[in-house]
Structures are given as C-alpha cells and as structure tokens.
C-alpha cells in the first residue's frame, strides 16, 4: 500500500471511529451539564437552561490518540527514531487539550471559579510552547526553515526557539478565534492538516503524513455533529489542541513560513482582532471593522453563518492549494 492510500485509509477509519464515539460523548457532556448557561425568559420568569455542550474537542482527540498509538505501537517500542518523533505532535495535542480543559471549566457548574484566567493561560501556553520548540530543535533536529525560491535549508540558529514558541502559542489562540461559527474551525483545520499531510508525503515523512490524515478524518467526523445546528462545540479543549498541533506539524516539515497562508482564515481572524484594538486606541474609539474577529464583521454585514463558513472555507482551501504548490518550489 502506498503512502497516499494508507493515509486516506486512516482518514476514513478515524472518521468512522469519531462518528461512532460521538453519541457517547454527547451523553457524557449532557450528563455533566458541560455547556454555557443561557438565560431564558418565559411568562415573566427567568430561568437558566443548558446551551450547546462545549469541550467537544475530546470527540476527535481520543480517536486520534488511540489510532496513532496503536498504528505506531511496534515502532514506538522499537528503535526507530523517525517513528517515535510522532510523540511530539501527539504530546502537543494532549498538552494543549488539557490546558483547554482547564479553560473550559468555566462552563461546568460548580467549577467556574477554578477555570484558568487569561493571564495564566498565556503564561502556561508560552512555557509549553517553549518546551515543544526545544524538542523540535534539539531532540528531533527538524529543518529550521524552508523558503519558496530559496535553495536548501535557511539556518535560524538560536532564533528558532523564540520563533517556534511564538508560532505554536499564536496558532493555538488564532484557532480559537474561528470557533464562533458552527463548522468553521473544523473545516479549516481539516483542510490545513490535509495540506501538510500532502507536504509530508512529498517529503517522504510516512509517520507524519499518517498522523495528519488521521486528524483530518477525525475532524470530518467531528463536523458530523458540529455543522449547524451544532450538537456540540469543540471549545478551547479542541481549538488549543488543533492550533498547537498544526504548528508543530508545520515545523516538522520545515515549511512553517507557509502556515499563515495554509491557515489563512485564522491568520486573518487574529490580524483583524489586533488591528481593531490598535486602531481603536489610536483613533480614540473609532472602529476599523464593525466587530472583531473578522467573521463577526461579516455577520453584521448581513452574511448568514452558512455563507461565512462556505466562503471562508473556499478561501482557505484555495490558499492551502497555493501553499502546497509553493512548498514544491
């Protein structure tokens, strides 16, 4: 079986496992009342009901973890360093997912006060991203940077560490900004992982390509439950994990300068938020966009959620195809 057919088969298997696993996850989330509380007024009385269950990232994280460990069990226990390298992106996914769980505690009754504050989130994200960056640099010895139209590897030396730390933490947060519309984060992340999976196949990175397409299939399974009207949302548990893992995968291919292009919608969402804040402060209260991040601007402009998801995904799909092409140059 070729690398491509094996990767596609894994995508199909992870899709099936995620869909099958979905119903039990929904029952668990509803049983523990993990979701935002919505104030509802009826007959002059106000009461609280449970909204869409959050923390749905576990829906795809569990199948991805199990499939990756089972598929590479023999290699992980052996002496194949290339096979064991998959532990780093998998560890990044689990680590940032756990950080997301601590953030999503605010949605669980009785645990809201125990949720991580934003400042603490940033500190822990930065420390975790730095550890992962060091592992990429010193343990895996990944290519520091490949640039389109540049022959060979571009050496960054010690500057690799701060660059990787910033990109890993930044991508995790940028992914969170796209989770405001049902289906948007999952579709864009699935496209980005498929793109880097294709790049890994071109580079001959068998284990990495399998990992990427396992994630792609699991995300498609997640979308089975997340398309409008969503039965659950991924929460920070899923968005932190996806963003950080995608950044790690990008560094493992050496093609991380293409990440803002292959993951263009989250990049624009984050950029719009920064520009909105800067413009607001410089102009004394004026706004550059009707609302940030960017998808809110289009919501207020009259676009439906379906139009936003489909148009944003088309843009990201085309950008990802361009990114794959540039990786060959």
Say if CB 34 and CB 57 are below 8 A apart: no
pLDDT of residue 228: 81
Q: What is the pLDDT of residue 289?
A: 95
Residue 34's pLDDT is 80
What's CA 41's distance to the chain center, in Å? 36
Is the pTM higher than 0.85? The answer reads yes
pLDDT of residue 81: 52
Domain that holds residue 307: 3-327
The count of structural domains within the chain is 1
- Region of 292 (left: φ > 0; alpha: ψ -120 to 50; beta: rest) is beta
Residue 265 is predicted with a pLDDT of: 98
* pLDDT at res. 110: 62
Report the chain (329 residues): mean pLDDT per 10 consecutive residues: 82 96 90 63 44 88 94 62 79 96 79 77 96 96 93 93 98 92 94 97 93 97 91 94 98 98 97 96 94 94 94 98 95
């Amino acid at each position: 079986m070729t690398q491509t057919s094996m990767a596609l088969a894994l995508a199909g298997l992870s899709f099936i496992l995620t869909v099958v696993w979905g119903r039990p996850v929904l029952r668990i989330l509803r049983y523990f009342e993990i979701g935002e509380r919505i104030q509802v007024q009826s007959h002059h009385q106000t009461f609280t009901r449970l909204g869409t269950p959050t923390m749905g990232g576990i829906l795809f994280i569990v199948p991805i973890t199990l499939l990756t460990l089972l598929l590479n069990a023999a290699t992980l226990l052996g002496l194949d360093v290339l096979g064991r390298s998959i532990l780093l992106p998998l560890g990044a996914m689990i680590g940032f997912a756990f950080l997301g769980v601590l953030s999503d505690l605010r949605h669980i009754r009785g645990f809201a006060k125990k949720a991580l504050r934003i400042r603490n989130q940033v500190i822990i994200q930065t420390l975790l991203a730095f550890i992962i960056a060091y592992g990429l640099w010193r343990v895996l010895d990944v290519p520091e940077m490949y640039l389109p139209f540049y022959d060979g590897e571009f050496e960054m030396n010690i500057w690799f560490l701060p660059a990787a730390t910033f990109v890993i933490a930044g991508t995790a947060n940028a992914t969170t900004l796209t989770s405001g519309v049902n289906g948007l984060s999952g579709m864009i992340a699935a496209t980005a992982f498929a793109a880097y999976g294709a790049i890994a196949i071109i580079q001959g990175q068998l284990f990495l390509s399998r990992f990427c397409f396992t994630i792609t299939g699991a995300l498609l399974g997640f979308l089975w439950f997340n398309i409008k009207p969503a039965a659950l949302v991924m929460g920070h548990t899923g968005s932190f994990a996806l963003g950080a893992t995608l950044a790690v995968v990008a560094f493992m291919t050496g093609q991380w300068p293409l990440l803002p292009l292959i993951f263009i919608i989250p990049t624009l969402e984050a950029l719009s938020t920064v520009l909105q804040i800067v413009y607001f402060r410089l102009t004394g209260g004026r706004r550059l966009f009707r609302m940030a991040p960017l998808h809110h601007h289009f919501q207020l402009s009259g676009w439906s959620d379906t139009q936003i998801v489909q148009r944003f995904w088309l843009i990201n799909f085309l950008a990802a195809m361009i990114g794959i092409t540039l990786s060959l140059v």
